[in-house]
Amino acid sequence: VTLLREVRMFTAMGFAVPHAIQQMAVQANKFYQSGVALKQVANVYNAMGKDIIPCTMAMIQASARHFEDTITAKGSGALTWSNEADTEIFIEKLRKASTMLTDDNRRLHKLHADIGVLVLDLFKIDLLRSKDRWVGRVRQIREIMARSRFEKQEAWALHWDWQIYKALEHQY
C-alpha cells in the first residue's frame, strides 16, 4: 500500500521512478485486492474462536480442519504470489472454506437457541399435570439434535442433558 501510494505520488510530482520499481508497483497493485480478501478471511477466522459455543467445538471440527487445510494448502504445490490465477483460485477456495465454517457455526447457534427455548418451556410445564407435554418437549429436543446431522455431539448432548436434568429437578 505504501509502495503504491509513494509511486503514484512521485509520478504525479513529475519525478522519474525507476522501471524496476514501477514493475513492482504494478505487481503490488494486482495483489492488493487479494491481500484485502485474505485480511477479511483472517479476521473471520480470528473472531471465530470467541463465537463458537464451547460444547459445540467438536461438532464443527471437520469444517475447521477443512478450513485450516485450505489455509496451509495441504495436498497442493507451493503457493506463490507470482501467479495471479493461482492466487485467485486459492482465495476462492479459502472463501468457500470460511463460508462453510461460518455457516456451520451459525446453524449450531440457531439450533442451540431453539433447544434453549424448549428447555425453558420444560421449567414452565407442570410435570405432574402435563407429563405428556413435558416428555414431548424432551422428544422434540432429541429430534432437533438428531436432525442436525452434526457428528461428535457428545459434549453438546451432555450439556442439554444437564439442562433437562435441572428442569426435572425444578419440578420436584
List pLDDT tens digits, range 141-166: 999 999 998 999 999 999 999 999 99
All 3 cell numbers of residue 70?
485450505
DSSP tag of 39? H
Determine the pLDDT at residue 45: 84
How does residue 77 score in pLDDT terms, banded at 50, 70 and 90?
low
First to last CA, the chain: 66
pLDDT digits (tens, 9 = 90+) for 30-59: 778 888 888 888 888 888 888 999 999 999
The CA-based diameter of the chain, rounded to the nearest angstrom, is: 89
Percent of the chain's residues with pLDDT above 70: 95
pTM of the model: 0.77
